[in-house]
Amino acid sequence: MGLLSKKDTRLILDPLADNNPITIQVLGICSALAITAQLKASIVMAISVMAVLALGNVVISLMRNIIPSKIRIIVQLVVVAALVIIVDQILKAYSYQLSKTLSVFVGLIITNCIIMGRFEAFALGNSPWRSFLDGIGNAAGYGVILIIVGFFRELLGSGTLLGFQVLGDPINKTGLYAIGYENNGFMLLSPMALIVVGIIIWVQRSRNKALIEDH
């Protein structure tokens, strides 16, 4: 037996497409709207969430038999808040510049409903190793959507990717701007993130009819 059984592999691959946390489980929408105006911010957020979700899933999974069910949500909240604050403090002490970049994300990670959602739906009922894989998989699925949305919002809203002016200079009118193209400032605002996510959901469900819920 290899490191990953077939079931384990599915834990990682499923959330990337058919069980995507954002487009199918509809978790973590708030942060997906807030920070996807730039590709770089999306990538940083994806990595941070992956670290916290994988670690938090393991901790919750280890404690799953002793957590009183009545207060399990509070326990989950305490675990994720404590984890995030400890990581933040360590970064502040040993990697100050990185912590400056991440500072705004810290609060967003704690309130990210993917984290609570996966603790509740998976880690409370599964072994630590499987929970770890589930954390990695779901964070990756979340990250993929974030990066797709960030890509389109930055490209169409600012005409840049990761800060590089890929479409030319909008002020000096070079590249695409020379023939009358304009950046769409609306792409920088949150409603457009929702519309982009909506388009992704539409594309995904029209390709895989099994995902459409009947009402």
Partner 1 sequence: MALNTDKNSYTIIFSIIMVVVVGALLAFVAQGLKPTIKENQRIEIQQNILYAMGVNENEGDGDVTFVGADKIKDEFAKYVKKQLVIQGDQVTEDPNAYLIDLKKEENLAKDANYKRRLPLFVGEKDGKTFYIIPMRGKGLWDAIWGYVSVDDALVVQGVYLDHKGETPGLGAEIKQRYFMDDFQGEQIMSGSGEAFEGISVAKGNNDPLNKTKDDHEIDALAGATITGNGVTAMIKKDVRMYIPYLQSIKK
Q: Which is nearer to partner 1, 38 or 57 (CB)?
A: 38
Query: Which token pair is 101?
Result: 């970049």
Angstrom distance (rounded) from CA 211 to CA 199: 15
User: Which range of residues in 8-16, 22-30, 101-109, 113-121 is near partner 1 by CB under 8 A?
Assistant: 101-109
Among 26, 30, 62, 82, binds partner 1 (CB under 8 A): 82
- Number of other residues whose CB lies within 10 A of the CB of residue 135: 31
Report angle CA 186, 107, 137 to the nearest 5 degrees.
Answer: 85
Looking at 189, 195, 199, 203, which residue binds partner 1 (CB under 8 A)? 189
Cα-based distances in Å from 76 to 45, 52, 73, 126, 136: 20, 12, 5, 15, 18
Task: Give the nearer residue to partner 1 in terms of CB position, either 16 or 34.
Answer: 34
* x-or-dash string of contact with partner 1, 104-143, rule CB under 8 A: xx-x------------------------------------
Which of 13, 17, 92, 128 forms a contact with partner 1 (CB under 8 A)?
92
Q: Does 168 bind partner 1 (CB under 8 A)?
A: no
Q: How far is CA 197 from CA 132, 136, 150, 171, in A?
A: 26, 21, 10, 30
| Choice from 89, 127, 174, 206 touching partner 1 (CB under 8 A) | 89
Size of the site for partner 1 (CB under 8 A): 35
Token pair belonging to 53: 């979700």
Q: Is 90 among the residues that bind partner 1 (CB under 8 A)? A: yes
Residues 30-69 that bind partner 1 (CB under 8 A): 34-38, 41, 65-69
Closest among 61, 186, 40, 208 to 132, alpha carbons compared:
61
Question: Of these, 127, 178, 185, 206, which contacts partner 1 (CB under 8 A)?
Answer: 185
Shorter beta-carbon distance to partner 1: residue 107 or 198: 107
Nearest to 187 by CA among 178, 179, 195, 199: 195
* Separation CA 193–CA 164 (nearest Å): 21
> Which residues of this protein are in contact with partner 1, per CB under 8 A?
34-38, 41, 65-71, 74-75, 78, 82, 85-86, 89-90, 92-94, 96, 103-105, 107, 154, 163, 171, 185, 188-189
